[in-house]
């Protein structure tokens, strides 16, 4: 008798088969309340039909059942198209199209083979992901339409270039490249470049949308990508805007430092599976965030002018491959330099490389130091020191980048004061670590 009862995996398969279509139908029912031809029940049952016919045809090895389901689905979709075009005189075919997609999603669920120890496998996950994606696309129709209307040719080309790099270059990048006795992490560097490019593009869109407030968004998102590049751009922008709003620029630089620290913390989480370095770095993050926020609030209050717009921001181009490639080169050079110094001078090499690498990219030092630590956990003290030193130098180097962009002293003085205060507290934290109090 128990053999006749369905197992838990079959119940889950039936539920998923209904849900992947019902989620799409939920949006259609809400959007087309007045003249809907299909809603939650119709979409859900349509996808469940696909699940049932696919599962049964696989179970009894008879494709006729699946063909039967396809014929029924084709009739239903054709009826919807006819009703849409000739009875309601509608222009769009979105509903019939997503109605047909719901059947395909159900078929995927029906053919799915659960992963051992789980209720569903790859095909079910894919069907659920596509269902959710379709739901989002339909639900944000107005926002997408508005974005398409205001997008420029350069922005469209930039988005395509980013997509090409992500989709077509990925399969061509090897996991590692052997250079002598060193395994060079090629795929890891590729992912870092893709992340930087994505942040850069998202940052451009935010700055374009929020105008004057975009200066802060630029600091945050620019710092996530490269705080040094962000500060250089801010200094150039400050000069072009006739040196207005030094306080806002300084506040944005502080936000870039905060974002840089948060990004480095995320890098440690991704690379350091022991969390030793991340736990230590929490102290550095706390010091930098608290002091930077205090200074940012002080500067904002001192320079705030309600109702006055200082900037008509157009800081960056939508797509800049150069900075991301430079970061990749820097990371590669620092990583190889650290391995070389480590092999030659043992742990001292990490610290030497941190001093050099921190001038151009603390993120590269953090990522490469954490990678070296994972390869050799006995280098924990040296890797930790390298990461903290790189952060100190990365905070101080903002003075250099601001000075190179603007030789006048007003902005340089503000940035130098902030940088020295923050770096001093982090240096104190480093001293406590060396003495064994942290």
* Sign of the torsion angle spanned by Cα atoms 337, 342, 343, 344: positive
Cα dihedral 38, 40, 41, 46 in deg (nearest 10): 70
Average pLDDT, the chain: 79
| Tens-digit pLDDT profile for residues 146-161 | 555 555 666 666 666 6
Read off the pLDDT of each residue in 104-123 and give the average, rounded to a whole number: 82
Query: Helix, strand, coil: what percent of the chain each, to 5?
Result: 80, 0, 20
Token digits of residue 15: 């539920």
User: Tokens 């230590």 map to which residue?
Assistant: 280
300 pLDDT band, cuts 50/70/90, is: low
Domain ranges of the chain: 2-147, 152-434
pLDDT at 1: 39
315 pLDDT band, cuts 50/70/90, is: very low
What is the three-class DSSP state of 85?
Answer: helix
290 pLDDT band, cuts 50/70/90, is: very high
Please state the separation of Cα 162 from the chain's center in Å.
13
The answer to whether residues 196 and 327 touch, using CB atoms and an 8 Å cutoff, is yes
CA gap 300, 303 in Å, rounded: 5
The answer to whether residues 143 and 36 touch, using CB atoms and an 8 Å cutoff, is no
Read off the pLDDT of each residue in 333-357 and give the average, rounded to a whole number: 73
Decide if pLDDT at 325 tops 80: no
């Amino acid at each position: 008798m128990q053999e006749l009862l369905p197992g838990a995996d079959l119940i889950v398969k039936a539920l998923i088969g209904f849900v992947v279509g019902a989620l799409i139908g939920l949006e259609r029912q809400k959007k087309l309340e007045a003249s809907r031809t299909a809603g939650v029940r119709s979409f859900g049952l349509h996808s469940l039909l696909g699940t049932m016919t696919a599962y049964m045809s696989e179970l009894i090895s008879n494709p006729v059942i699946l063909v039967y389901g396809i014929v029924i689905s084709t009739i239903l979709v054709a009826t919807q198209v006819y009703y849409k075009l000739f009875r309601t005189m509608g222009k769009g075919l979105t509903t019939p199209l997503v109605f047909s997609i719901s059947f395909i999603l159900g078929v995927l669920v029906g053919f799915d083979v659960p992963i051992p120890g789980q209720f569903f496998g790859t095909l079910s996950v894919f069907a659920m992901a596509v269902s959710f994606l379709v739901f989002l696309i339909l639900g944000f129709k107005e926002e997408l339409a508005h974005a398409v209307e205001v997008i420029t040719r350069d922005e469209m080309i930039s988005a395509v270039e980013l997509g090409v790099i992500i989709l077509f270059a990925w399969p061509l990048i090897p996991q590692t490249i052997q250079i002598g006795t060193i395994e060079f992490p090629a795929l890891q560097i590729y992912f870092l470049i893709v992340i930087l490019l994505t942040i850069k593009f998202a940052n451009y869109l935010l700055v374009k949308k929020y105008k004057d407030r975009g200066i802060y968004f630029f600091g945050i998102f620019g710092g996530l990508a490269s705080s040094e590049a962000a500060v250089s751009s801010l200094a150039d922008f400050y000069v072009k805007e006739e040196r207005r709003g030094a306080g806002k620029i300084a506040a944005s630089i502080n936000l870039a430092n905060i974002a840089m620290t948060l990004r480095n913390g995320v890098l440690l989480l991704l690379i350091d599976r022991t969390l030793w370095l991340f736990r230590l770095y929490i102290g550095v993050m706390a010091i930098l965030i608290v002091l930077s926020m205090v200074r940012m609030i002080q500067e904002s209050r001192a320079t705030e002018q309600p109702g006055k717009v200082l900037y008509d921001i157009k800081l960056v181009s939508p797509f800049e491959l150069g900075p991301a490639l430079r970061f990749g080169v820097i990371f590669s050079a620092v990583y190889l330099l650290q391995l070389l110094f480590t092999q030659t001078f043992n742990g001292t090499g990490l610290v030497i490389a941190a001093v050099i690498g921190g001038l151009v990219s603390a993120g590269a030092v953090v990522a490469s130091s954490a990678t070296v630590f994972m390869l050799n956990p006995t280098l924990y003290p040296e890797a930790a020191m390298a990461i903290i030193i790189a952060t100190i130098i990365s905070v101080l180097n903002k003075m250099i980048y601001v000075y190179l962009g603007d030789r006048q002293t007003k902005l340089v003085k503000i940035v130098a004061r902030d940088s020295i205060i923050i770096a001093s507290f982090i240096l104190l934290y480093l001293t406590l670590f060396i003495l064994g109090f942290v």
